[in-house]
Amino acid sequence: MNFVARLPAHVTGITLWGASLALGLVACSQKAPPESTPAAAAPAAGASTGTTGTPAAAPATSAPPAAPAPVVSVVTVKVEKRDVPVVLKAVGSAISLASVDIRPQVTSAITQVHFKEGQFVNKGDVLFTLDTRTDETNLAKAKAQLAKDQAALADAKRQLTRSRDLVAQNFVSGAAVDSAQTLVDSSAAVVASDAAAVQAAQVALSYGRITSPHAGRTGVINTPAGSIVQANVSVLVNVVQVNPMAVAFNLPQRDLADFLAAASSTTQVKVTATLPEDKKPLIGKLQFVDNAVDPASGTVKLKAVFDNKDSKLWPGLFVNVGLTTKKIEDALVVPQAAIIQSVRGPIVYVVEDGKAVVRPIKMVFAAGPEAAVTGVQENDVLVVDGKQNLRPGVKVVERPKENKEPGKEGAGAPAANPSAPGAAAAPVPAPVPAPAVAAPASAAK
């Protein structure tokens, strides 16, 4: 009986709870500002569960405030004024000033090798000895023939003297003197021929002793002792001069006027050669400029000479070459990282009164990370990093140049500066309120 008596009250409570839930869903479906908080949503839920069963009126919302002007953090650098040398860069290869293939001048057999492969030799050092027994025999034969003809010449001269004495005493005619004179002259000619034959035999004998034509380093011995070599055909060894060394390189024809003017000046043109594994350059001097431009590549061949006492340069080694042609005095130097290539030419962003200002410039000379330009003033503040986010008139703020080490928290971005204008804390997402459910009226009993 009690359950039957309380049944109308339970039905009434369930009906009120369903009406309150429906009103709450309708209130949540209405458009509300995304920044609404649970504190603002609570009154709406409370209004939907009022005793009258009607929702309360929604509070009026004010217009959002205007967004502050953007502020871009950048890294800046000042314009410097100093003398800038104009250095033309190229890649060259080290070559020897003298590289000789040693070949025999006579066909013979090698009897002895006087050096080791890769050994450094001086000019005149004996490298090979050939079999010279035949040449020695020919030389002895030529000397014997010379001695014979010299004896005949002496006898002819004595005959001429006697003939002159007899002609003076009128014992013989003058024709005898002429005959004796002819014999002396012919004998003298034969003696001269024999002397030349002796010299030829001596030259042939000297070919059996092969010496180094210059100081340098030897290569591989191609023919060991005991080998038969042919005259002017067989390559015995190669001797390469390594001190001093030359570096050959090419420069484009657009720089022809600059290095020709430098080569024709009274001062010596400075050339540097830097090895890939060595940061300290070698200093040399320009020796040769080719007389024509290569039509295939549009370049001119040049050669510089370097002192190579430490043997840092080796034939065939590639090096980075720098040729200093002139010096730009009081040039305005800026980092190339600050230059932007636009459709109207190169520009830079200059910071004036905390704002970015576009400044057109003109490139005078660029080399490495720096460039000499015109269009800016000394001590102007240029934007180096962060220029991709700039627009003319945008406010900028300086940020530290050093970042944290990679892999650590905050690496790759500067720390936030709360006092910097425009700096804002990271937005914290508002908690989503849980829907309020009104309890049935019977539950309060």
Of residues 241, 243, 245, the one with CA closest to residue 99: 241
Q: What digits encode the pLDDT tens for the residues 375-393?
A: 999 989 999 998 888 888 8
pLDDT computed for residue 318 by the predictor: 94
Of residues 57, 53, 43, 56, the one with CA closest to residue 15: 53
List for the chain the helix, strand, coil content (%; round to 5): 30, 30, 40
Task: Answer yes or no: do 108 and 235 share one domain.
Answer: yes
State the CB neighbour count (10 A cutoff) for residue 45: 22
Query: Among 94-103, 232-241, 392-401, which is the least confidently predicted range?
Result: 392-401
Task: Answer yes or no: do 263 and 375 share one domain.
Answer: no
Which of 381, 398, 415 is the endpoint of a domain? 398
pLDDT computed for residue 63 by the predictor: 54
Task: Give mean pLDDT, residues 298-310.
Answer: 93
Task: Answer yes or no: do 173 and 118 share one domain.
Answer: no
On the question of pLDDT at 57 being above 90, the answer is: no
Q: What digits encode the pLDDT tens for the residues 78-123?
A: 999 988 888 888 999 999 999 999 999 999 999 999 999 999 999 9
pLDDT computed for residue 315 by the predictor: 92
Specify the number of domains making up the chain. Answer: 5
Please name the amino acid found at residue 50.
G
Query: To the nearest whole number, what is the mean pLDDT of the chain?
Result: 79
Of residues 390, 339, 388, 378, the one with CA closest to residue 360: 339
Domain with 121 in it: 101-129+215-240
pLDDT computed for residue 197 by the predictor: 95
On the question of pLDDT at 155 being above 70, the answer is: yes
In a domain, 445, yes or no: no
pLDDT computed for residue 329 by the predictor: 87
In a domain, 10, yes or no: yes
In a domain, 139, yes or no: yes
C-alpha 364/C-alpha 258 separation (Å) is: 14
Task: Give mean pLDDT, residues 191-203.
Answer: 95
Q: What digits encode the pLDDT tens for the residues 271-291?
A: 999 998 887 899 999 989 999
In a domain, 313, yes or no: yes
Cα 342 to chain centroid, rounded: 27
- Residue 138: CB partners within 8 Å, gap ≥ 6? 201, 204, 205
C-alpha 330/C-alpha 324 separation (Å) is: 17
pLDDT computed for residue 27 by the predictor: 55
Task: Answer yes or no: do 268 and 321 share one domain.
Answer: yes
In a domain, 284, yes or no: yes
pLDDT computed for residue 24 by the predictor: 60
